[in-house]
Structure 1
């Protein structure tokens, strides 16, 4: 019987944390446990879990390891613990696939599709000049885009703010036409009254969905927002377990869920969340503005989940100014996009080969990424 013998953690630019787990017979699995802006905190949580629950254990027993990591502590859930579990879980699936010489999706029930559609980010945190950027991405073959709706927005803001958001989306729609899908991310910046107004103003331009129209702590108001629009509502990137999603499913107001494979307990947990969503006729579009290990994990869930419809990916996203997704891979063709799709990987495990020497080199750099703290014009803190 093989067993887990060692692990290493690497904080690397632009804002990622990689986990390498090794077994006695030399099989290596990779995971991406990260809360953006809290890398050192998650690092400590991973060390605690690995040292107390994983070292010396059989890597095959993924479900049992997940249960022990989650239920072994009296206090459960939340972004730090669930992200630590997520990265470990990804690495264990990578190891198991390699030990059994099979891609992870084969262990999850096999293919439900041969490729998955991806969307491309346009604009930045404060969106501007998105029309021309959209046309450029469509010319590169993408058929789906996503953009932020607004920058800072007050609890009750002016008609001009609504008008500016509407004009940005209209510009994108005019540049790309009706055949391209456009997701609009509210980013949790918007309060309930402004979300209702924005949703109504943007609807004539047929967004693919409006994302995180309110913060997850206000998910109870989603039915009210849904009553003001026919645009699909998406949320879930700041929800961390099937129990967080349960109430949202029962409300019936959300059309697309976006669990993050590096935050919501990894492949094991998101596979269960996806199945729950299917039973409520809710589509799956995993959140992933992260690195190559997180993206590979998403693609395996997408491949085996019948209700997956599109995948976020961070190539050329505004956060990746120092390093990008492909920089850490030996073979970059695994994430080559064709006409807005990425093919299902065929290699064992997660199907990617990490360039270990490059990871070690980049881990020597100082990262220490934190999201900006925005303020309104009166000096009060705004949602980023």
Structure 2
């Protein structure tokens, strides 16, 4: 069987980290290990991964996953699991290409023909949201997501709640479904008020109502609202998700396939979620390889509901958007609010390798902004 001969990583704009693996017979697979704001740490983690897996049989994906995750003594967390995620995606891409089938076929075959998608509007400090929602309708989307608030004080003015509700109403009036992202910016006293004020407008879901290190408080809020609660971008394994499932705290699990162990682990998280009647909606404000991996899992996952897409997201650039490094962009076309199942081999995308290598000559150093309140203290971004 072909053995792993090389693992390369590429820091490309706007903030992505692509992983390329090659076997001793020249076959190539691609994955994405993007960890926003900490990409250099993941590059370092991939150095240790190389030492462990070069020379191993590339088709033994589960064995390699277990080796990388368990035998470094320290395990889990965003850096180590992002590195493993990029490798795992690339190995699935490699195997699918070797067999001439999409990864979804290797996961048991597809259970749907297309996947519903949503796009971002409004930016970190949401503004002009109605116009942005109308533009997304023109692009073929029928669902969007936006930040519910700007940075918010622990106890903030009632006017801040009124402004958030008004923005939501403006977007709902355009006819699209709207997911609201609290982004972990809001603390419990304000979160409860915001949730209650937004309930009459029926957002599609409310994401990261509190930071995930507050499981008891999230469970409390879940008992107080009828709105679907979504969470998971800062959870990195099935063990991280377990307490939220066991306490019925969330309705929608949002693991990120570039942070949470790749295709292998997110497939397990999805199956675990299904046993608690929790839906899957993978987090993905990232690049095309991460998105393709999401779509492969979504195609074969019964409890999948909707997929985030970063097309034109505020983090991207005119010359570094979702389709910039993709040689077959039609595979990600949005029609009627959905994207067809990717039927090409592996992840289903063809990467413009020359463009990736050229872009990586000037590695990005993306960092999220630092926000401070009017008293000078730090605010959650």
TM range (shorter): over 0.9
Provide the C-alpha distance between the structure 2 equivalents of 1:374 and 1:260, rounded to a whole number of angstroms. 25
Is 1:319 aligned to 2:315, yes or no? Answer: yes
Q: Is the 8 A contact 1:199 1:228 kept in 2?
A: no
- Aligned partner of 1:72 in structure 2 is 71
Query: TM-score, normalising length from structure 1?
Result: 0.98
- Aligned partner of 2:163 in structure 1 is 164
Is 1:189 aligned to 2:185, yes or no? Answer: yes
**Shift of residue 249, structure 1, vs aligned partner:** 0.3
Query: TM-score, normalising length from structure 2?
Result: 0.98
Q: Is the 8 A contact 2:114 2:339 kept in 1?
A: yes
- RMSD over aligned Cα, in angstroms? 0.9
List per-residue Cα deviations over 1:315-369 (Å, max 9, x = no partner): 0000002411101011111101111111111111111110000001111124100
Is 1:250 aligned to 2:246, yes or no? Answer: yes
Q: Secondary structure at the match of 2:11?
A: strand
- Aligned partner of 2:376 in structure 1 is 379
Counterpart selection for 2:293 from 297, 300, 308: 297
- Aligned partner of 1:222 in structure 2 is 218
Provide the C-alpha distance between the structure 1 equivalents of 2:379 and 2:365, rounded to a whole number of angstroms. 22
Q: Secondary structure at the match of 1:73?
A: coil
Q: Is the 8 A contact 2:7 2:19 kept in 1?
A: yes
Q: Secondary structure at the match of 1:352?
A: coil
Q: Secondary structure at the match of 2:122?
A: coil
Unaligned stretches of 5+ in structure 2? none
1:366–1:64 distance in 2 versus 1, CA, 3 Å? closer
**Shift of residue 139, structure 1, vs aligned partner:** 2.9
- Aligned partner of 1:274 in structure 2 is 270
Provide the C-alpha distance between the structure 1 equivalents of 2:142 and 2:202, rounded to a whole number of angstroms. 14
Q: Secondary structure at the match of 2:249?
A: coil
Q: Is the 8 A contact 1:240 1:265 kept in 2?
A: yes
Q: Secondary structure at the match of 2:118?
A: strand
1:74-153 pair list within 5 angstroms: 74-153=73-152
- Aligned partner of 2:34 in structure 1 is 34
Q: Secondary structure at the match of 2:189?
A: helix
- Aligned partner of 2:14 in structure 1 is 14
Q: Is the 8 A contact 2:77 2:236 kept in 1?
A: yes
Q: Secondary structure at the match of 2:173?
A: helix
**Shift of residue 131, structure 1, vs aligned partner:** 1.2
**Shift of residue 184, structure 1, vs aligned partner:** 0.2
Misfit runs of 4+, over 4 Å:
none
Provide the C-alpha distance between the structure 1 equivalents of 2:68 and 2:210, rounded to a whole number of angstroms. 31
Q: Secondary structure at the match of 1:139?
A: helix
Provide the C-alpha distance between the structure 2 equivalents of 1:84 and 1:142, rounded to a whole number of angstroms. 32
Unaligned stretches of 5+ in structure 1? none
Q: Is the 8 A contact 1:146 1:185 kept in 2?
A: yes
**Shift of residue 228, structure 1, vs aligned partner:** 2.4
**Shift of residue 161, structure 1, vs aligned partner:** 0.6
Provide the C-alpha distance between the structure 1 equivalents of 2:68 and 2:380, rounded to a whole number of angstroms. 32
List per-residue Cα deviations over 1:81-137 (Å, max 9, x = no partner): 010000000001011111122110000000010110000111100001101211221
Provide the C-alpha distance between the structure 2 equivalents of 1:253 and 1:291, rounded to a whole number of angstroms. 29
